Amino acid sequence: MSDIHIRITGRAGRITLTRPQALNAMTYEMCLAIEAAFDAWRVNDAVDLIVIDAEGDRAFCSGGDIAELYATGTKGDYAYGRKFWADEYRLNHKIFSYPKPVVSFLQGFTMGGGVGIGCHGSHRVVGETSQIAMPECGIGLVPDVGGTLMLALAPGRLGEYLGITGTRMNAADAIFAGFADHYVPQSMWKSLTLEIEETGTTEALGKAEEKAPDATLEPNLDQINALFAGERFGDILTVLNNDDSTFAAEALKKTSRNSPLSMACTVEIMHRLRGPSLTLEKALDLEYRFTYRAMEHGDFLEGIRAAIIDKDRNPQWQYAGQDVPLAAVSKMLQPLGPDALNLGDTP
């Protein structure tokens, strides 16, 4: 497959995304190929660990390739999208629970589906160009691919802030928020990968690691906690609208571009997840409840039309006044019964 290069090099299973012209956006076929490799290498004693990287300077993976989702959804075929998301989430869970180390090198944009394959492994490496985000509310989805787990675990109310604004994190921010582990200058990545392949261990990462510069989230955490502590999306909006700080104004500007239904559901998911019962399985289940309904009842198709198809950047959202009824949130997140997400034989 020309979009992805899968092989064994030394002691490492190697996966390289090779669609730099498309910012390494992940197709359904790439998702299935990655899963097959993870399954095969799980029981292969010649593979001690897995290394995932990508060609090009601009992106590790900018997200999922959503053109086919739009093409099928606009014809009233929701089954393709539902299967795509179910299979993708199963892969995310396999990476998260993998018994061998999984090292990912996250240059440039790592967003949406890129977070799903790049940020669930055991050793997540960022560098000076890294920009990690969960911008799904901007296209009528909620942060998914297990991203809500990391958002719910992030310090304070960072989860709400990052989830409903889609703010991009640099390397220092990603480490602080729990989306990455190691900052290593990108000039060292090639030699580091060669050493990992040769030794079959991750020891070299600790030696190469440096302190990431230019943190922006941690210095603003107190303000984020104060502004995003509301029980519901409407509560957060009220606080933001009554705060005269530049930070609040910028946050409001970001939320004004996004689907109100998606943002309201994102806040609700955060609050349902937090607590002693927080697991990736629970996060993926809630995400799938939304994505299962996103084409038929949500803003997803309109979000893609405005951003990708017509590119008019003028989506006609439901609840454009941002007053989202509780019943609408409950409808999107109610259990799916026999259609609930099935993670299959994931150990």
Among the listed residues 10, 13, 108, 113, the single catalytic one is 113
Among the listed residues 144, 181, 197, 287, the single catalytic one is 144
Write 33-40 long-range contacts (CB < 8 A, 24+).
33/1, 33/4, 33/6, 34/4, 34/6, 34/91, 34/117, 35/87, 35/90, 35/91, 35/94, 37/6, 37/13, 38/91, 38/94, 38/95, 38/98, 39/94
Quote the distance between the C-alpha of residue 32 and its chain's center. Answer: 18
Rounded Cα–Cα distance for residues 108 and 129 (Å): 5
Residue 279's region, left for phi above 0, alpha for psi from -120 to 50, else beta, is: beta
68 counts as catalytic: no
Going by C-alpha positions, the residue among 106, 173, 164 that lies closest to residue 136 is 164
Helix (H, G, I), strand (E, B) or coil at 182: strand
Among the listed residues 136, 181, 195, 197, the single catalytic one is 136
| E strand or H helix at 123 | strand 123-126
Rounded Cα–Cα distance for residues 224 and 139 (Å): 24
Going by C-alpha positions, the residue among 175, 206, 200 that lies closest to residue 51 is 200
Q: Please, which residues bridge with residue 52 across strands? A: 15, 104
The one-letter amino acid code at 168 reads R
Rounded Cα–Cα distance for residues 346 and 157 (Å): 31
What token pair was written down for 11?
A: 């002691």
Rounded Cα–Cα distance for residues 259 and 265 (Å): 10
64 counts as catalytic: yes
285 counts as catalytic: no
- Spatial neighbors of 318 by CB under 8 A, at least 6 apart, are 259, 260, 261, 298, 299, 328
- Are the CB atoms for 292 and 274 separated by under 8 Å? no
Among the listed residues 10, 13, 63, 64, the single catalytic one is 64
Helix (H, G, I), strand (E, B) or coil at 287: helix
113 counts as catalytic: yes
Catalytic residue annotation: 64, 113, 136, 144
